[in-house]
Amino acid sequence: MTGIELFLGEHLNPEKLNALLLLGVVLFGGTWVGRLFQLWKIPQVVGYIGLGLALGNTGLGWIDLTTMSHLQPFSTFALGLIGFMIGGELKIKTIKKYGKQFTTILLMESLGAFVVVSILITLAGWFFFKNWSFAISLGLLMGSISSATAPAATTDVLWENKTKGPLTTIILGIVAMDDAVALLLFAVSTSVVGILMGNGGDVSLVSSLLDLVWEVGMAVVMGAGMGFILYRVIRSFSDEDKILAFSIGAILLLIGLAIFLGVDIILAAMSMGFFITNFAPRRSKETFHLVERFTPPVFILFFVMVGAKLDVKGLTSVTVILAVIYLLGRIGGKSIGAITGSAVSRAPRSVLRYLPFSLLSQAGVAIGLSIVAGQVFLGPLGDTIVMVVTATTFVVQLAGPPLVKFAITRAGEVGLNITEEDLIRQSRASDIADKDIPTIKENADIKSILKIFAERDNLYYPVVNEEGVLTGILPIEKLKDTFIASDISEFLLALDIMDQAEFSCRPDTEASEVRDIFKNRGLSSIPVVDENGIVYGMIEYRRMQQLINRRLLELKSRATALEKV
């Protein structure tokens, strides 16, 4: 080995990557890859997971099992944040409106996947293993696991695309609640399989159901209780930093208690978000807005870790065939159940058509249940379940988000959940300027000026010289004051009564910067000029607000109209 090789091996060994450097690679690389995928019109979550695949067990191996165990708290924290944000979307009036559809579709799509996967895997299991007890056990366990839908990747696509409408509402309700159905089916299946495999004494149906009641019931109680405590704490604060600190602290405290007591983290956090948004609506908007701004780095790390955990190197031909059958059965079962449930509950047409595309993702709960099955049923049964679920998770985590985006795009719900802040952030001065406003020449007399004012409802007009370059602003109040204070007003020109233009902006100036000038300088109007000072348009603060409010009302009307289709 040469000296150069020894040097490189000592100083540039990937195995010696420290945690901070790895976090930097994950966050910086994840943000860059996510932006790249956005430019390609692909959900950024696919880029995060792809980066995780490249860095994890399937790729370079930089993120090994030890590193993943050290970073596990971040992933758990991300699940808590996801649950909290989902709970914030579930308002009581929405549940009352869609309650029948929620329940019907939830049960139909969960049971549809369970029944179809159980039957197909049982038949395939008997074909490969020639043992009916083993085949039925494999079918029941994998059928129950197939009913779970991962909320993380699905909701990330919804939030990224600012969606609103009946399809979005139904998706959020289902991904929030079908984990509970999956846990119930898994508890019953585990007990039945315990009897079939000859270790029924170790797996009791009553014990499994009691565990389920504790895990779900206590999660709801804890979440509501922590939501009440958070509301009582933050209601007396107006400082955003303290509200964010208390909110994140409450979520972390809830997650820690959930782990300590062995209850469902997502349901607990969702219950907390549900309580805050419904019983403290005034403070909830600010709280959720602040938490949402905090989440991007945590979510990037979470999805990169999801990709890093996926290891498909050890698949056998039998496992691959079972994985394909499981995947097709799960897609078919959920699709049939979703369509049937939508038809029975008379859901809007967009839900009937596009909901089946939105329920493919599986991750945390499915993998967790497969690991539990592997620990309870040691040997070929448990090992097969873990490998099949891991392999199919690899596929659906990459294919699921693009299909969700396809569904919400075709349903017409993209961009309907935009706030005033979003509109400002997405706009530039050219988007909010009045480009048709007439200019007033410096040598224009009062008669000419009055004619312009009479034809328009603007309160401020740009004044220009002979070359069309901006020289000042003429407000209508200044014109009124001139008439009142001067006996020679009819002899005055625009140049004599105009105000100097203290500030101006370019057409490509960000609207957020324009808004800050309005607020910080106390101005009512800002002229927009090109690089030569030629007037492009005029922005009045009141008209800017009217434009934004009109745009928000249009989006709200479009979202409401979708419910009637």
Rounded-to-integer distance, Cα 409 and Cα 147, Å: 25
* Structure confidence at residue 31 (pLDDT): 85
CA-based nearest residue to 186, from 338, 384, 342, 374? 374
Q: Which fold has domain 44-417?
A: Na+/H+ antiporter like fold (1.20.1530)
Kindly report the pTM of this predicted structure. 0.67
Q: State the DSSP string of 334-380.
A: HHHHHHHHHHHTT--HHHHHHGGGG-----HHHHHHHHHHHHHSTTH
Q: Is the dihedral of CA 137, 139, 144, 149 positive or negative?
A: positive
Rounded-to-integer distance, Cα 530 and Cα 470, Å: 10
Helix (H) or strand (E) holding 58: none
Summarised one tens digit per residue, pLDDT across range 237-258 is 777 788 888 888 988 999 999 8
- Burial class for 306, CB neighbours closer than 10 Å (0-12, 13-18, 19+): buried
Contact residues for 187 (Cβ-Cβ < 8 A; gap 6+): 205, 208, 209, 211, 212
Cα-based angle 199, 201, 205 (whole degrees, multiple of 5): 100
Do strands 460-464 and 440-441 pair parallel, antiparallel, or not at all (unpaired)? parallel
Helix (H) or strand (E) holding 313: none
Rounded-to-integer distance, Cα 280 and Cα 16, Å: 49
pLDDT in tens, the chain (565 residues): 565 555 445 544 555 566 777 788 888 888 888 888 777 776 677 778 778 878 877 777 777 777 777 777 887 888 788 778 877 777 777 677 777 788 888 889 989 999 999 999 999 888 888 888 888 888 888 898 888 887 777 887 887 888 888 888 888 888 777 777 887 787 778 777 777 776 544 555 566 667 767 877 888 888 888 888 888 887 777 777 888 888 889 889 999 998 888 887 777 888 888 888 888 777 777 788 888 788 888 878 877 887 777 666 666 788 888 889 999 999 999 999 999 998 888 888 888 888 888 888 876 677 777 766 776 677 778 778 877 877 787 778 778 888 888 988 888 888 877 777 778 888 888 888 888 888 888 888 877 887 887 777 788 888 888 888 888 888 877 776 665 555 555 667 777 778 888 788 898 888 888 888 888 888 888 898 888 888 888 888 888 888 888 888 887 777 776 766 5
Classify residue 500 by its DSSP letter: P
In contact, 173 and 145? CB cutoff 8 Å: no
In contact, 462 and 440? CB cutoff 8 Å: yes
Hey, how many other C-beta atoms are within 10 angstroms of the C-beta on 43? Answer: 25
Q: Where are the domains of the chain?
A: 44-417, 425-554
Rounded-to-integer distance, Cα 168 and Cα 278, Å: 19
Residue type, 28: F
Q: Which residues pair with 493 in a beta bridge?
A: 445
Rounded-to-integer distance, Cα 109 and Cα 341, Å: 7
Summarised one tens digit per residue, pLDDT across range 100-156 is 788 888 889 989 999 999 999 999 888 888 888 888 888 888 898 888 887 777 887
Grouping H, G, I as helix, E, B as strand and the rest as coil, residue 506 is: coil
425-554 belongs to which homologous superfamily?
CBS-domain (3.10.580.10)
